Chains A and B, each alone.
Chain A
Amino acid sequence: MRRYITFLILLIAVNYSCTKDIVDDRATYVDVFDSFWHIMDERYVFFEEKNVDWDSVYEDYKPKFKEVKYYHQAIDLFEEIILELNDGHISVTTYWHHVISVSGIDTLNALPYLNYEKIYERYQLNNIREYPKVHIGQLNNSITYLRPLYGLDKISSADVGLANYEHKNGVILDLRDCMGGNSEGLGLLDGFFEGNKDLYYRQYKNGKEHHNFTKKYSVKLEGLGTVSSETPIVVLINDNTYSMGNFMASVMKDITACKLVGQKTGGGGGCVISVYLNGGWSLTYTFDRVYNLSGELIEDGILPDIEVLKSKDFWENDHQETGEDPQLEKALEVLLF
Chain B
Amino acid sequence: MTQSMTGARMVVQALKDQGVEVVFGYPGGAVLPIYDEIFQQNDIRHILVRHEQGAIHMAEGYARSTGKVGVALVTSGPGATNAVTGLVDALMDSIPIVVLTGQVPTFAIGTDAFQEADTVGITRPCTKMNWLVKDTAKLSETIHLAFHVARSGRPGPVLIDIPKDVQFADAHYVPREKIKPSHYQPKVKGDIEQITRLVEMIETAERPVFYTGGGVINSGPAASQLLRELAEATGFPVTSTLMGLGAYPASGKNWLGMLGMHGLYEANLAMHGCDLMINIGARFDDRITGRIKDFSPNSRKAHIDIDASSINKVVHVDVPILGDVGHVLEDLLRIWKSRGRKVNKAGLATWWKQINEWRAVKCLTYKPSSTIIKPQYALERLEALTKGMDRYITTEVGQHQMWAAQFLGFEGPNRWMTSGGLGTMGYGLPASIGVQIAHPEALVINVAGEASWLMNMQEMGTAMQFRAPVKQFILNNERLGMVRQWQELLHGERYSQSWSESLPDFVKLAEAFGCKGIKVSDPKDLDDAIMEMIRYDGPVIFDCMVEKHENCFPMIPSGKPHNEMLLGDDDTQGVINAKGAVLV
Q: Say if A and B assemble together.
A: no
User: Could you list which residues of chain A lie within 8 angstroms of chain B, going by C-beta atoms?
Assistant: none
**Which residues of chain B have a CB within 8 Å of any CB of chain A?**
none
